[in-house]
Structures are given as C-alpha cells and as structure tokens.
Amino acid sequence: MEFLQDHSIQNELLLIFISVLLGIFIGAEREYRNKSAGLRTFILVCFGSCLFTILSIKIGVENPDRLAANIITGIGFLGAGVIFKGDNKIDGITTATTIWATASIGMAVGSGYVYLSLMGTVLILLILSSLTYLQNFIDDNHKIREYKIAITASDEIRHCEELFRNNNLKFLMIGQQYTVGNLATTWRLTGKNKYHETLIKQLMNDPKIIAYQF
C-alpha cells in the first residue's frame, strides 16, 4: 500500500512538473512579445490549474468536478484584469484568452491527459506565432486608424478630405471640437499602411495643419 501511495505521489509530481514546463513555453512567447501577462503568470496559471485538478480528483471523490469547475470562474476574473481600452481598440483580449487556454492545458495535465495537453500547447503556440504574420498582412492592407487633426477654420475640412483622397484613404469624420480660432477634428481613416505613412509626412509639412495625433 505504501509503495502504491509513493508511486501515486511520483506521478502527481511528474504531472505538476509537466504543467510548469508547458506554462514556460506559453509564457515565454507572451514575454517575448512584451505582453501584460508574462512568463511567471502563465507558469502559475498552468501549475495552479493542474494542482487544483489533482486535488479535485483526490478530495472530490463523489463529485470530482466541483473544484475543477471553479477554476474556470477564477481564470475569468484573472483574464479580465489584463484587458484594457486603448486609444481606438480594446487591448489584452488575446492575452486574456491565452490565460484561459493555458488553464485548460493545466487541467488536462492534472487529469492525466498529457498527450492532449502537449497537443494543445503546440496549437496555442502555433496560433500565437504563425497567425501573427496573417494579422500583419491584413493590417498592412486594411489599416484602420483614428486621427485627431487641428485646423484653423472650418473651410480647411475640405483640405483634409482632399489629402485623404489623394492618398487613397477612405475617411469618415466622427467628431469636432471648436475653440477660438481652432477646430479639432477626429477622422477614422481606412487604407493600406503605406498610404497612412505617406499621409503623416504630408501632415507634418502642411502649413494649414496646426497639429495632428493618432
């Protein structure tokens, strides 16, 4: 009986070690990209999910999913902490969903499904790294950016529109703010990234443009 108990403990320690190792792989990718949740966060998420799952199986004999089900709720609160609003988009959603997926890896390891967890880790890393190139390709060809442009008079709005047309950018005015002698306009421009770069150079050298921001 003692041998079986020692053997069980060794298996559980091995599962915990595997969960830490897989957490390192995923966390290293996020750390490399300088995301809000890095190496230590993903190690602890994967390890914690694994340990809670092992405990759930051990102490929840009649209802082994009792503790494991609450892991999802806890991870939800943790993921919400890394989501924040940027200038014109919500940032941190990818990191939050990666935390959620990492928890599932830890739970798979804790349940003894090591091969499934290994496959899941590989898929997570492929999604995070390989699809970045596709995302960059889409971004280069369909860049959406909000500009705040300060001009001297309302007549200069037409001048701005002409600049956008000359640079093959679709435009939509989404806001105005007037102060004495100064009109601040907000535009949503859509087009290729290289067209945005050309527009920025023209805005810097245009005497009719007081200031701009994006």
Cα(83)–Cα(85) distance, integer angstroms: 7
* Strand residues in the chain grouped as ranges (E): 84-85, 90-91, 143-151, 170-179, 182-191, 209-213
Domain ranges of the chain: 2-139, 143-213
What is the second-level CATH architecture of the domain 143-213? 2-Layer Sandwich (3.30)
Backbone conformation region of residue 145, classed left if phi is above 0, alpha if psi is from -120 to 50, else beta: beta
Cα(43)–Cα(160) distance, integer angstroms: 50
pLDDT tens for each residue of 67-118: 667 777 778 777 777 777 665 566 778 888 888 899 999 999 988 899 999 9
Report field, pTM of the whole predicted structure over 0.85: no
H or E element at residue 3: helix 2-32
Contact between 108 and 116 under an 8 Å Cβ cutoff? The reply is yes
